[in-house]
Structure 1
Amino acid sequence: MQVKEILNQKGRDIFSVKPEDTVYNAIAKMAEFNIGALLVVEAGKLAGIISERDYRNKVILEGRTSKTTAVEEIMTDKVIRVTSTDSVNLCMQLMTDKKIRHLPVVDGEKVVGVISIGDVVKTVIANQKVEIDSLRNYIGGGYPG
């Protein structure tokens, strides 16, 4: 299964902030949409990502204030990303190895969506269920042939 199939099921909503926005506004947006990360977009291009982890590590633990700190000061700018034709298994591997929970989906220069670890796990479980059901039908003699 490819990333584009996840995006087709969940939608392609992209929640983002600008680098100059305050961290407070970013956190408020995350709360509004009940999400754990936002893309940072500048001039239509992916500039970074800001997550709850960035907020914890770079604002709270460093004694900064969210109302006066700009997103660009704490965002992750070396963003790990995937394309819509990459496999779900690759996404699972990247998320596990890099200990990240969100992957922007970028085709060429255009951001086309974001997938979360929850999206990936849900897809893997659904695929395994289909395989298990097929094997049960085959073993039980119910497989069309």
Structure 2
Amino acid sequence: MLIRNILNEKGTKVFDIEPEDTVYDAIKKMADKDIGALLVMEGEKLKGIITERDYRNKVILKGRRSKTTAVREIMTSDLYTVQPTDTVDTCMALMTDRKFRHLPVVENGKVVGVISIGDLVKAVITKQKVEIHNLRDYISGGSYPG
């Protein structure tokens, strides 16, 4: 399965914040949207990502104040991105190896979505359910779609 398929199902809505906004604004937006990360954007340009983990490690544990710390000070700017044509397996391996839970999806230099590890797990489970159904159908005498 391709990342494009996941985006077609979940949508391409991207929640973002600007580098000069405060960490407090970012955390509030994440809480309001019930999400774990925001892309950091300057206009159409992807500058980084801020996650709950960034907040924990770079604000709380460092004794900083979220209302006076700018997002640019704690965001992760060394980003990995994927394309809509990448596979779920490729993205899952990347996220597992690098220990992160969100990946921006970029096509022709433009952000077209974000996927989470949860999106990938859901896709794998759906694929397995289809395969199990097909195998059961085949075993019980139905035709196997191949």
Fold agreement, TM-score > 0.5: yes
Runs of 4+ in 1 over 4 A off after TM superposition: none
Could you give the per-residue CA deviations for residues 34-87 of structure 1, whole angstroms, max 9, x where no partner exists?
Answer: 000000001311100000000000000000000000000000001111001100
Q: After TM superposition, give the deviation of residue 109 of structure 1 in Å.
A: 1.1
Structure-1 residue corresponding to 2:93: 93
Structure-1 residue corresponding to 2:77: 77
Q: After TM superposition, give the deviation of residue 3 of structure 1 in Å.
A: 0.4
Calculate percent identity across the aligned residue pairs: 65
CA distance in 2, matches of 1:108, 1:139: 45
Structure-2 residue corresponding to 1:55: 55
CA RMSD of aligned residues (A): 1.0
TM-score, structure 2 as length reference: 0.97
Instruction: For structure 2, list consecutive stretches of 5 or more residues without a partner in the other structure.
Output: none
CA distance in 2, matches of 1:143, 1:40: 49
TM-score, structure 1 as length reference: 0.97
Amino acid at match of 1:48: G
- Contact between 2:135 and 2:144, CA under 8 Å: does it hold in 1? no
Amino acid at match of 2:40: V
Structure-2 residue corresponding to 1:16: 16
Aligned residues, how many? 145
Structure-2 residue corresponding to 1:129: 129
Secondary structure at the aligned position of 1:142 is classed as coil
CA distance in 1, matches of 2:128, 2:72: 40
Secondary structure at the aligned position of 1:12 is classed as coil
